Structure 1
Amino acid sequence: VLRNFKAPEKSLCLVWSPDKRTLAIGGRWKSTDELVIQLWDTVSGKVLSSPNTKVEEKSGHLDIDLAWTPDGNAIAYIDKQMIIIWDIRSGKLKQLSRSKATALAWSADGKVLACGGAGGEIRFYDRVSGKVNSYISHSYGPVSSVSFSPDGRFLATAGKLGTVCLWDAHRWQSLYKRQTYKINARGESVLAWSPDSTALVIGNDQQNALVILDAQSGTVFDVIQESQEPTSSLAWSPDGSLLATGTGSKNSIVQLWNAKSGFYEALQRLDTHMGPINTVVWSPDSNSLLFAGKDTMINLWQPKTSKQLRSFGDMREVVYGLAWSPDGKTFASAGNQGIRLWDIQSARARRILKNPPSTSRGVQTFISIAWSPDGTTLASGDIDGNIQIWDPNSSQPLHSFKACCGRVTSLSWSPDGLLLVSGGGDGTARVWDIRNGYQPYAVLLPLWGSIGPGIAFNPEGDYRGPPGIEEHVIYVVQTDSGQELLTQKKFANQYGWVNEPWQVGLYKPGAERVERNQRGLLMGRVGRQLLMISRMLLA
């Protein structure tokens, strides 16, 4: 140890000056949560300077970043989502704009500041004017919704901007991608299939319109502007006659639409007075509708009579997901205090499924839930990326595994019950082989930009994607000296490996357990998910 520095207790960022003589330390005092940036002389160990970073309130968001200009005269930093440039010589601070920035970098001439955002976007600021010169986004964003078509032929995924990607659910070929909202749209998108698998409806919790797509071609059938409210949840009735939507605003409206006529005119409207609606789900016989939101109550509504039949709760927890059992006698609710199984007739919770606290939050927050087609098992996903499979007659999970995809936003079983798909906060959808112990079957990555709709790859690293995708593939190899990044050509030369697209989805899920060949063992040694897509190359 050459020297010790008395820095803020919550030190988060250390950056050397270009001349390597000064160390910038960014952090927060534990007692006040106040942001502090200090410049330390590494020879004398003294603080040279510190900007006046006054905060009006404590911030629960502790991520910051520091970036020196190449001439060493200024530092850019992030405080409470505000991007600030500190002129070290004058001590002046220049505030740029509020943005969910997570990373900063200066251009070589120090005239442009690049800011990476939490949503995958990059903004370029002019140092003098403080204005955004340009904006690019290479990230599809989280996969917020996944759903198999009722006939089992396709899988649809939805992400940022209402971008829908359709996949062949047997070969895992990406068929098309459609962006249903404007480029400046944000928010979480949701989707639902028509029961005959011919149409898809897409909603967004920050857009006042519903988009109906022809599932086969991706052509827009209709745009429902009469919604007047952003959509946070939607469901098509099993008989195909009605479409139900729940709003993501404080107006808390459940709206029914006539889907049978093909014109999607508005029908009954229920003002629930319960805050944003997180989830709506139809009963198997299409006679009743369950909905829940942030006010901790679950309500049962009968659309034909416009009557609210009963309420379930109060659980004193936000309900993030609902799933009706195939026999229509039970439904499951997912929240931050566990999974509850409710008896429809008695309106009582007959069982609570949850694990002992195992996260830093102290509780396990379940945000997605889905019944298997035969009703014998229940799948759940939580905010920490865990997937669990439950026996509804037992309080213990049958299987529990890490999805390695960030938060598990959505779950969908294939109609034959052989596959489970999870949507992830990392922008992927992951396919799990159920009868082979929920082993990874395929990973789907919707692509951003003009390169193509998406790419699918298997655990061995084989991938199937649009023409030219190999130019954008990077292999991450774990070696004794660390990680090594290789192009496809270099990887093939070094490891003697060639991509075989036909291997993706080759074996039938649920068949006799597949033994991985020598090539697969090699893949296991160099990394479980050795194939990665460099998002910065997906322009």
Structure 2
Amino acid sequence: MKRNSYFGLAMALCLATFAGCASQIDMDGAIQDDDGWAFSGSVSAGAFAVDSLAFSPEGKKLASTHYPQNPSSWRVQWLIENPPGTVRIWEPKDFGSGLEFWVDQASLTIDAMVGYAPLYFTPDGECVHVMGGSEVVRWNIHELKPERFPVKNPRLVSPDGRHVAVRTGNDQVVVMEVETSEKRAELSADGLDMWPIGFVDDGRLLAIQVTEADNSRYLAIYDIASQSEQSRCLLRTTTSIQMAHAKTRIATTQFCCGDVISIWDINDGSLYRTFNAGDVVICGIALSPDARLLAACTETPDGQDQGMTLIWDIEAGELIKTIRDDATVKDDDEYWGVTAVAFSPDGKTLATGNSEGDVNFYSVPEIHAE
């Protein structure tokens, strides 16, 4: 039977009781390690694996996207096709026990959802934007009314939901207004293959992966207003990448097959630091709002039965925490590990999602929180 938030918390409390000096129970009932990281609760979306996570601007809600479990081919299917998916909104509730539980507020079915696309709340926290196979869906989470804007082959939507990046050819990316389809910018790289990766700096910049003739790659940072390249990061991989950003930093790693994460300066493309995650498959990365912490979630490492979330102190260059996923795994073939990770806007909470449909919450120690 799937673990729900009450069962998971009860089990965690029991484990902490028998763990001796390895962990302790906070005054609010959360499970706390000696180093200050605390498990503060979980929610479950049933058998719908988590694809992405995003906190609202004030941190009082969490949005998650999910796809049906398909252990044998989920990654390939998600890259080539746009299968049905759902977006859910979670919010914390106090049931008088002194503990904070997150509950499912609402959900929306997307007929053909683009996987691995960034998920955003609008700056006012009123709406979330989800990428459909041929549309951008703007969902007002208060009125629970979705608006659908047809877009051919959308790849990314900007954080404010106003613009969408579309790959119109191998060597061109167009930025368009979501509501009017009016072109705002046409970005090109002299005939080289281009793939939009993420909007940066509140949508002012766009990061695009560019593949050169010799199959080497770099990440180009374009200023959308001037339609010019601002900087570039020279990637070490010849495979597609995934990206996270905060303030003036970008983190990159190989898509689902890399163990090295690089930290770059957005302004000049200089490499600041690299981290080696070991022999694992990285499913997602996130930077804390102050760009001091890097989190990476992984599939189940060889010889182990749990996925992990690895957390580094960027300035110190050190791995400071490894969180083992606490999912109740019934069948190794149906559990892949931790599939999504996100920091809250104040940096005090870390959320992770796994292939079982669970979302777990952890309190970040004050020494690391913003």
TM-score norm. by structure 2 comes to: 0.62
Number of equivalenced pairs: 272
1:210–1:387 Cα change, 3 Å: same
Q: Which amino acid is the alignment partner of residue 230 of structure 1?
A: M
Higher relative contact order (CA 8 A, sep 6+): 2
2:140 is the counterpart of 1:258: yes
Structure 2 partner of 1:223: 107
Of the two, which has the highest radius of gyration? 1
Q: 8 Å contact 1:208–1:230 — kept in the other structure?
A: yes
Query: What displacement does 1:342 show?
Result: 0.3
Structure 1 partner of 2:214: none
1:308–1:387 Cα change, 3 Å: same
For the residues of structure 2 that align with 1:415 and 1:343, how far apart are their CA atoms?
22
Structure 2 stretches lacking a partner, 5+ long: 4-29, 68-82, 93-99, 212-216, 301-306, 331-337, 339-362
Query: What displacement does 1:304 show?
Result: 5.3
Q: Percent identity?
A: 16
For the residues of structure 1 that align with 2:265 and 2:156, how far apart are their CA atoms?
23
Query: What displacement does 1:346 show?
Result: 2.3
Q: 8 Å contact 1:324–1:330 — kept in the other structure?
A: yes
- 1:28-43 alignment runs, 5 A limit: none
2:323 is the counterpart of 1:448: no
Q: Secondary structure at the match of 1:349?
A: strand
Q: 8 Å contact 1:178–1:218 — kept in the other structure?
A: yes
1:263–1:295 Cα change, 3 Å: farther
Query: Quick one: which of 171, 175, 179 aligns to 2:40?
Result: 175
Q: Which amino acid is the alignment partner of residue 128 of structure 2?
A: L
Structure 2 partner of 1:324: 200
Q: Which amino acid is the alignment partner of residue 158 of structure 2?
A: V
1:505–1:220 Cα change, 3 Å: closer
2:51 is the counterpart of 1:189: yes
Q: Which amino acid is the alignment partner of residue 59 of structure 2?
A: S
| The structure with more strand, counted as a fraction of residues | 2
* Cα offsets for 1:191-215 (capped at 9, x unmatched): 2211121111221344432221114
Query: What displacement does 1:240 show?
Result: 1.7
Structure 2 partner of 1:210: 87
Structure 2 partner of 1:347: 227
1:423–1:293 Cα change, 3 Å: farther
Measured on the aligned residues, the alpha-carbon RMSD in Å equals 3.7
Q: Secondary structure at the match of 1:209?
A: strand
Q: 8 Å contact 1:380–1:388 — kept in the other structure?
A: yes
Query: What displacement does 1:407 show?
Result: 3.9
Query: Quick one: which of 241, 244, 250 aligns to 1:378?
Result: 250
Query: What displacement does 1:221 show?
Result: 0.3
1:214–1:450 Cα change, 3 Å: farther
Q: Secondary structure at the match of 1:345?
A: coil
For the residues of structure 2 that align with 1:410 and 1:178, how far apart are their CA atoms?
19
Structure 2 partner of 1:399: 273
Structure 1 segments (4+ residues) deviating >6 Å: 166-170, 504-507
Q: 8 Å contact 2:155–2:164 — kept in the other structure?
A: no
Structure 2 partner of 1:491: none
For the residues of structure 2 that align with 1:320 and 1:167, how far apart are their CA atoms?
40
1:505–1:202 Cα change, 3 Å: closer
Q: Secondary structure at the match of 1:218?
A: strand
Structure 1 partner of 2:311: 431
For the residues of structure 2 that align with 1:175 and 1:167, how far apart are their CA atoms?
7
For the residues of structure 2 that align with 1:338 and 1:202, how far apart are their CA atoms?
30
Q: Which amino acid is the alignment partner of residue 157 of structure 2?
A: V
Q: 8 Å contact 1:243–1:256 — kept in the other structure?
A: yes
1:393–1:196 Cα change, 3 Å: closer
For the residues of structure 1 that align with 2:258 and 2:199, how far apart are their CA atoms?
20
For the residues of structure 1 that align with 2:145 and 2:280, how far apart are their CA atoms?
38
Structure 2 partner of 1:535: none
Query: What displacement does 1:220 show?
Result: 0.8
Q: 8 Å contact 1:388–1:401 — kept in the other structure?
A: yes
For the residues of structure 2 that align with 1:271 and 1:167, how far apart are their CA atoms?
46
Query: What displacement does 1:368 show?
Result: 2.0
Structure 2 partner of 1:365: 239
Q: 8 Å contact 2:263–2:272 — kept in the other structure?
A: yes
Q: 8 Å contact 2:164–2:177 — kept in the other structure?
A: no
Q: 8 Å contact 1:203–1:230 — kept in the other structure?
A: no
Structure 1 stretches lacking a partner, 5+ long: 1-135, 139-165, 358-362, 455-503, 511-539
Deviates more, 1:287-296 or 1:328-337: 287-296
For the residues of structure 2 that align with 1:278 and 1:213, how far apart are their CA atoms?
25
1:243–1:306 Cα change, 3 Å: farther
Q: Which amino acid is the alignment partner of residue 107 of structure 2?
A: V
For the residues of structure 2 that align with 1:424 and 1:295, how far apart are their CA atoms?
32
Q: 8 Å contact 1:366–1:380 — kept in the other structure?
A: no
For the residues of structure 2 that align with 1:167 and 1:410, how far apart are their CA atoms?
24
